Amino acid sequence: MPDSTPHPSPLELGTPDKTFLDSNELILNMGPQHPATHGVLRVILKLDGEKVLGVECVIGYLHRGVEKIGENRTYTMFNPYVDRMDYVAAVSNGLGYCETVEKLLQVEAPRRANYIRVILTELNRLASHMLWLGTHALDIGAMTPLFYTFRDREEILKIFEKYCGARLTTHAFRIGGCQYETYDGFERDVKTFVDCVPPKIDEYEALLTSNRIWVERTKNVGKISAADCKALGVTGPVLRASGVKWDIRKALPYAAYSDFDFEIPVGANGDTYDRYLVRMQEMRQSLRIIRQAVEGLPEGPIMAKVPKVMKPPAGEVYHSIEAPKGELGYFIVSDGSTQPYRVRVRPPSFVNLQALDLMVRGQLVADVIAVIGTLDIVLGEVDR
Amino acid sequence: MPEETKSPLPGSAGEPEGPAGKPQAGGAQSAAAAKSAETTSEKPPAVAKPAGPVAVPWTSPLVANLKTRYGSGVSEASTYLGQNCLVLDSSITHEILRILAEEQEFDYCVDITAVHYPKREKPFDLVWILYSFPRNQRLRVKTMLREQESFPSSASIWPGANWLEREVYDMFGLRFEGHPDLRRILLPEDWRGHPLRKDYGIIEQDEQWVQANLGIESGQ
Amino acid sequence: MLDYVTSYLSSNTTPGQAGNVVWALIYILIVFAGVSIAVMAMNWLERKALAHFQIRLGPMRVGPHGLLQPIADAIKLLTKEDIIPENADRLVFWIAPLIILCASFAVYVVIPFGPTHAITDLNIGILFMLGVSSLSVLGVVMAGWASNSHYPLIGSLRSSAQMISYEVAMGMAVVSAILMTSLNRSGTGTLSMIGIVEAQQQQQIWYLFKFFPLGFIAFAIFAIAMVAETNRAPFDLPEAESELTAGFHTEYSGLRWSLFMLGEYAAMIAVSSIAVTLWLGGWLRPFPNALTGATWDLAFSLLPGFTFLVLAVVAWVGVIRMPKHSYFRMQTLGLAGFAVLLGLIGLVLFAPPVRDRIQDIFWFTAKVAFFMYMYIWYRATFPRYRFDQLMRVGWKVLLPVSLGVLIGTAVVGMVL
């Protein structure tokens, strides 16, 4: 087994006898424990005074070996593990995994199950974006939107709790459909939620969108062009804010998304302000989808005929969904047995985080925190 | 362009890639079909169920183009469950990836990963999943590597391949030549062992590292 | 001896001017105690108001509705371990918070709570205030340096750069207000704090409204600059938690940190009182010249007592709404006692001898309280400015505008 030979870090200062006073450059460490890095992320900044020359991210502090675990659990047993990756938007993870295994098994979830999946996934997208908004605003200094968004997120988590018993790591879906039928009052709750939330989103916008200080902190900060996004593999709101109108829900539809009418918000500049606007618009579009789904919720079974002991035929399949953070993909290789041969999770935050270096070059130190916030990374997903 | 095609043709040429010695596709499916035929009596007598998903040879101008250029290097081009896959010889894969990126507009490298089949002659499967924005098409490209064989890095084609290849190196030990910064990414720098290989047990760990750095006997 | 003490009571000046040391000391003690209580109240108010802005309740447990929270905080800070970094410069480390504290408190010597309710009335009052409050920059730099760690050092340098930048704009705004005082009947301006308020009384207009909009712009500049002076949101980058450098008071814990906090709040109250004195008419009640007459005087003089009665009623409503559970008995009793106390104070303030004398102090305090509330409101609402944007606002926006206002005031004052 070849050993890993250590390579020098690209931010190495040079020969050991050169002290930091000899050069203009300062290496600053935003350690794994930091209020603003949204998890255990270590960012090493190379600074020239206040300007950032380069950034190196050290990740892996939350690596739990989820892919290795996947090879040692059956398909059904692995389902709860998947929630723990992007723990902020757990339902999306579950949706991606269940759909990929359903593809392998060649079963299709029934229409009602797909509608329930869409409703819960879009609620989850709202919850994820609300959390993002609160924490991002807090990093930039506005401490009040955090409490407002968490308050509204509570309502979503209550719906999840009533539906499947858990608020955060929901394990809401099963391979083949949904296990739980919607509870009595589910539709009423969701409709009430959808009616109550738009004024709240307007309130968040009123606090931030035209606030001069917010605009100055976010405009032209962390710019990334569409070409760079595509080359780096960045997806999700970051890509859309750079001007690329691409959303897997429209390009390669899954679940019941082709039944619904919604728009894809696109930004123009690719800076932090545009990402903020894109995510706010996405929240409104999610509400639109939820309203359509809940009004058109069909009757029918919620679970397809799936064998108790799942042995998908040998083969491999890749399927991805539009998670709140970007393209969440699952590449599952099956060898015909009850346990997957290889489960690969393609995490959007991992790939998006690569773009951090490009986005903060030439910016100031205080912008690094704004850019990390705007990328919307969750370390559970980055590290798996 | 829709991806889902559910039309497995029974008994057609080509098999999905898989570890040697495993039953053909369809075994599980027909077992399930038989079971459901037993339990539900109102179903009509079992029509011959399709044998399950089989890889279908994939013909397209792209494949034709590559085959004329590289002939036998393109060992296989198939479609399984509606997903196109190219299996290539490891010597020409880098060139073909470049062609795919530049000429065929596969400008987005979605994922790079590997699979370890220890009993095979060439144990490592290196897999690229590519996507083309202009064509709205996804493509899987695979190549097989021997133990200790290294592969040219795709970071020059897609900058986003940087971290993805680092992770493959970290988890499998596959080296990428020409990679700007090939280091471990998820595990500590001085960890020994490559966990996603099949000969690395699930509860195995680098005891030396754990004892030296965490000051405990074992993480178990 | 007794004459020495009682003779002051019949004189109509401040102790400083009367040269009465004993009364000066008594006033100093009263002001010091008052500011300390005000700081504690401000601490409570900040936590409660911020919480209510964020749709949560804030401290509720320590005392009814958290009223005893500041005391609990003080006890906690006093009993904390005193940590000094290993390679810190011990003397400088010890002195830094004291300098900030002394600088912040020394300005209270000239703050006028009424025409004779000040410790002294220097005839360079405003200059003294600006000068002494600037000394706190020294304490900030000393704190960052003595901590022997480069994060506090960077934070303190940023903080001091910010404070110095905004002082220039502050000074210009102050000068334009001083210019307005020279339009007195006597034709001479004054720098003394009491004199400035009396000038506003003579000219029968608060300087906020004089030469509209010049006075208003000068006031606005001062209001923004004073927030930056005291390192409060939205200018609190040097001491914000989520930024890289956690500010000059990182290495301070326990009592030393509480001295910083005390100094910061005292400075906030001090600069607010400058703003109140210069533009909002100090201790003058609203419309002292327009609404004259016995009835108006009576109505306005009833206001302080009325305010306390309203507060007592609010506290009483809190008492009624307390949960009826034995756990809350102590809190209910405490809050009821507090409500009764407030009511008694209100009734005392209705008594004629008191209500005539308490007017000035009440109005001054009310106006300063308004500024304190605005401080909390800014903190709840605005994101933070980045440091370079902060400096840009100070130098490129506020300074030219304040210069313009100064020239404009001078020109208009000459012409009119």
For chain B, domains (ranges, CATH) are: 54-204 (3.30.460.80)
Q: Which of A:4-23 have CB within 8 Å of B?
A: 4, 6-7, 9-10
Lowest mean pLDDT among B70-79, B108-117, C138-147: B70-79
Domain residue ranges in chain C: 82-284+377-415
Contacts of A200 in chain C (CB under 8 A): none
Q: Kindly determine whether residue A366 and residue C244, on different chains, have CB atoms separated by under 8 Å.
A: yes
CA atoms within 13 A on the CB side of B208: 4
* % residues pLDDT > 70 (chain A): 93
Beta bridge partners of A56: A44
| Chain B residue whose CA is closest to A383 | B186
Mean pLDDT confidence for C394-415: 91
Query: Residue A50 corresponds to which amino acid?
Result: E
Find, among A142, A123, A124, the residue nearest to A134 by Cα. A142
In terms of pLDDT, which residue wins out, C182 or C151? C182
Q: State the Cα–Cα distance between residues B96 and C382, nearest whole angstrom.
A: 54
pLDDT at residue number B22 = 39
Cα A206 from Cα A211, distance rounded (Å): 8
Give the per-residue pLDDT at A191: 93
Task: Kindly determine whether residue B140 and residue A233, on different chains, have CB atoms separated by under 8 Å.
Answer: no
Average pLDDT, chain B: 75
Chain C positions in Cβ-Cβ contact with residue A137 (cut-off 8 Å): 383
Per-residue pLDDT at C193 = 87
Closest CB from B6, B19, B196 relative to A68: B196
What integer is the mean pLDDT of C86-102? 87
What pLDDT score does C242 carry? 53
Half-sphere exposure of B151 (CA within 13 A, CB side): 32
User: For residue A217, which residues of chain C lie inside 8 Å, CB to CB?
Assistant: 383-386, 389
The answer, as to whether pTM is greater than 0.90, is no
CB contact under 8 A, B163 and A231: no
The pLDDT of residue C276 is: 92
Helix/strand/coil (H/E/C) assignment for every residue in B99-122: HHHHCCCCCEEEEEEEEECCCCCC
Say what the pLDDT of residue B75 is.
72
Confidence (pLDDT) at C231? 86
Residue A36: pLDDT band by 50, 70, 90 thresholds? low
- The average confidence (pLDDT) of chain A is 87
Q: How many whole angstroms separate alpha carbon C175 and alpha carbon A118?
A: 64
**What are the pLDDT digits (tens) for C207-228?**
888 888 888 999 999 999 999 9
Per-residue pLDDT for B2 more than 60?
no
Give the model confidence (pLDDT) of C300-354 as tens digits. 888 888 999 999 999 999 899 888 888 888 889 999 999 999 999 999 888 888 8
Q: Which residues contact B206 (CB under 8 A, 6 or more apart)?
A: B191, B192, B193
**Which chain A residues are within 8 Å of C243, Cβ to Cβ?**
36, 366, 369
pLDDT at C309: 93
Give one DSSP letter per residue of C199-265, joined into a string: HHHHTTS-TTTTTTTHHHHHHHHHHHHHHHHTT-TTS-GGG-SSSSS--TTTT--THHHHHHHHHHH
DSSP string, A207-243: HHTT-HHHHHHHTTSS---HHHHHHHT--THHHHHTT
| pLDDT at B7 exceeding the cut of 60 | no
In tens, the pLDDT along B150-171 reads 889 888 888 889 999 999 999 9
Which residue, among A356, A378, A376, has the nearest Cα to A368 in the 3D structure?
A356
Interchain contact, A213 vs C243, CB within 8 Å: no
Work out the pLDDT band at B35, boundaries 50, 70, 90: very low
- Between C83 and C393, the more confident residue is C393
Subunits with 3+ C-beta pairs closer than 8 A to C: A
Q: How far apart are CA B95 and CA B129, in angstroms?
A: 16
pLDDT at B53: 66
Q: Do A305 and B158 touch (CB under 8 A)?
A: no
Q: Return the pLDDT at A9.
A: 45
Q: In sequence order, which residues have a C-beta less than 8 Å from that of residue C244 and are 6 or more positions away? A: A28, A30, A365, A366, A369, C151
Across the interface, whether the CB atoms of A217 and C387 are under 8 A apart is answered no
pLDDT in tens, A129-174: 999 999 999 888 888 999 999 999 999 999 999 998 989 888 889 9
Q: What whole-number distance in Å separates Cα of residue A65 and Cα of residue A72?
A: 11
A81, pLDDT greater than 70: yes
C397 to chain A, any CB pair closer than 8 A? The answer is no
CA A359 to chain centre: 19
Q: Which of C139, C175, C359, C79 is nearest to C267 (CA)?
A: C139
Using CA coordinates, name the residue in chain A closest to B161: A232
Give the whole-angstrom CA distance, residue C321 versus residue C307.
Answer: 21
Find out whether A293 and A260 touch, Cβ atoms under 8 Å: yes
Q: Is A209 on the interface with C (CB under 8 A)?
A: no
Nearest CB among C240, C244, C388 relative to A141 is that of: C240
Cα separation, B127 vs A330, whole angstroms: 13
- Digit-coded pLDDT (tens) for C252-301: 878 888 888 899 999 999 999 999 999 998 888 888 777 777 888 888 88
Provide the 3-class DSSP secondary structure of residue A300. coil
In Å, how far is A282's CA from the nearest CA of chain C?
23
Query: How close C412 comes to chain A (CA, Å)?
Result: 32
**Nearest CA-CA partner of A137 in A31, A40, A55, A213:** A213
Return the structure tokens found at B156: 């020059």
Tokens of A159: 């719906």
Q: Which of C372, C56, C228 is nearest to A144 (CA)?
A: C56
Closest residue by Cα to residue A329 from B2, B7, B128: B128
For residues B161 and B155, is the Cβ–Cβ distance under 8 A?
yes
Inter-chain residue contact C54 with A217, CB threshold 8 Å: no
Q: What does the pLDDT average to over C244-254?
A: 72
Distance of CA A156 to the CA centre of its chain: 17
3-state helix, strand, coil in chain C (%, to 5): 70, 0, 30
pLDDT for residue C25 is more than 80: yes
Measure A44 CA to nearest chain B CA, in Å: 14
Which residue in B140, B194, B202 is closest to A1 by CB distance?
A: B194
- Cα-based distances in Å from A303 to A74, A113, A176, A177: 19, 7, 6, 4
Of A151, A207, A364, the CB nearest to C386: A364
Q: Given an 8 Å threshold on Cβ–Cβ distance, is A141 in contact with C382?
A: yes
* pLDDT-based confidence at residue B18 (cuts at 50, 70, 90): very low
Among A312-321, A343-352, C82-91, C263-272, whose mean pLDDT is lowest? C82-91
Q: Does A103 touch chain B (CB under 8 A)?
A: yes
Tokens 């399709």 -> residue: B50
Does the beta-carbon distance from A6 to B127 stay under 8 Å?
Answer: no
Quick count: other Cβ atoms within 10 Å of Cβ A266? 18
* Predicted pLDDT at A14: 39
Q: What is the mean pLDDT of residues B110-120?
A: 90
Q: Is the pLDDT of residue C84 over 60?
A: yes
**How buried is A17 (Cβ within 10 angstroms: 0-12 exposed, 13-18 middle, 19+ buried)?**
exposed
Query: SS3 letters for C65-113?
Result: HHCCHHHHHHHHHHCCCCCCCCCCCHHHHHHHHHHHHHHHHHHHHCCCC
Chain A residues whose beta carbon lies within 8 Å of the beta carbon of residue C55 = 147-148, 151
Q: What is the pLDDT of residue A276?
A: 93
Q: Which of B17, B148, B181 sits opposite A10 (nearest CB)?
A: B181
Nearby residues of C46 by Cβ (< 8 Å), 6 or more positions away: C376, C379
Question: A111-140 and A365-375 helices cross at what angle (nearest 10)?
Answer: 170
What residues contact residue C212 under an 8 Å CB cut-off, 6+ apart?
Answer: none
For range C53-59, the mean pLDDT: 91
A45 neighbors A55 (Cβ within 8 angstroms): yes
Measured CA to CA, the distance from residue C227 to residue B117 in angstroms comes to 66
Interface contacts A/B by beta carbons within 8 Å: 164
Q: CB of C239 within 8 Å of any CB in chain A?
A: no
Its ipTM equals 0.85
pLDDT of the residue at C293: 79
| Nearest CA distance, C396 vs chain A (angstrom) | 15
A303 touches chain C (CB under 8 A): no
Which residues of C fall within a CB distance of 8 Å from A367? 386
DSSP state of C284: P
> Could you tell me the CA-to-CA distances from C358 to C116, C299, C361, C364 in Å, in that order?
12, 14, 5, 10
**Percent of chain C at pLDDT above 90?**
32
For residue A64, give how far its alpha carbon lies from the nearest alpha carbon of chain B (Å): 10
Mean pLDDT of A109-119: 92
Distance, CA of A210 to CA of A219 (rounded, Å): 12
Q: Looking at chain A, which subunits does it touch, using at least 3 CB pairs closer than 8 Å as the criterion? A: B, C
Q: In Å, how far are B50, B56, B80, B85, C131 from B11, measured between CA atoms?
A: 10, 10, 14, 19, 94
Provide the shortest C-alpha distance from residue B44 to chain A (in Å): 17
Residue A88 backbone phi and psi in degrees, to 5: -75, -35
> Which pair of structure tokens corresponds to residue A293?
């789904």
Q: How far apart are CA C335 and CA C412, in angstroms?
A: 54
Helix or strand or coil: residue B17? coil
A61 interfaces chain C, CB cutoff of 8 Å: no
Tell me, yes or no, whether chains A and C touch by having 3 or more C-beta pairs under 8 A. yes
Q: Determine which of A28-32, A116-120, A183-187, C142-146 has the lowest per-residue pLDDT on average.
A: A28-32
Per the DSSP assignment, residues forming a β-bridge with A45 are A28, A55
Nearest by CB: C54 against A144, A213, A365? A144
Least confident of A229-238, A330-339, B24-33: B24-33
In DSSP terms, B126 is beta-bridged to B114, B143
Alpha-carbon gap, residue A304 to C373, rounded angstroms: 61
Go through the domains of chain A in sequence order and give each one's CATH number.
66-383 (1.10.645.10)
Average pLDDT over residues A257-278: 91
What is the per-residue pLDDT for B10? Answer: 39
Closest in B3, B29, B163 to A252, CB measured = B3
Say whether residue A315 is in contact with chain B using an 8 A CB cutoff: yes
Question: Is A27 touching C (CB cutoff 8 A)?
Answer: no
pLDDT of residue A342: 92
Cβ neighbour number for residue A200 with a 10 Å cutoff: 16
Q: Mean of the pLDDT values across residues A294-303?
A: 90
- The enclosing H or E element of B132 equals strand B124-132
Burial (CB < 10 A; 0-12, 13-18, 19+), residue A328, is buried
Element (H, E) at C13: none
Residue C121 CB-half CA count within 13 A: 22
Query: Is the link from the previous residue into B53 a cis peptide, with omega within 30 of 0?
Result: no
Residue type, A16: P
User: Which pLDDT belongs to residue B45?
Assistant: 54
* Band (A273; pLDDT cuts 50, 70, 90): very high
pLDDT recorded at residue B12? 38
C-beta neighbour count of B136 within 10 angstroms: 14
- Is B101's pLDDT higher than 70? yes
Taking a C-beta distance cutoff of 8 angstroms, is the pair B88, A141 a contact?
A: no
What's the confidence (pLDDT) of residue A93?
92
Share of chain A above pLDDT 90, in %: 47
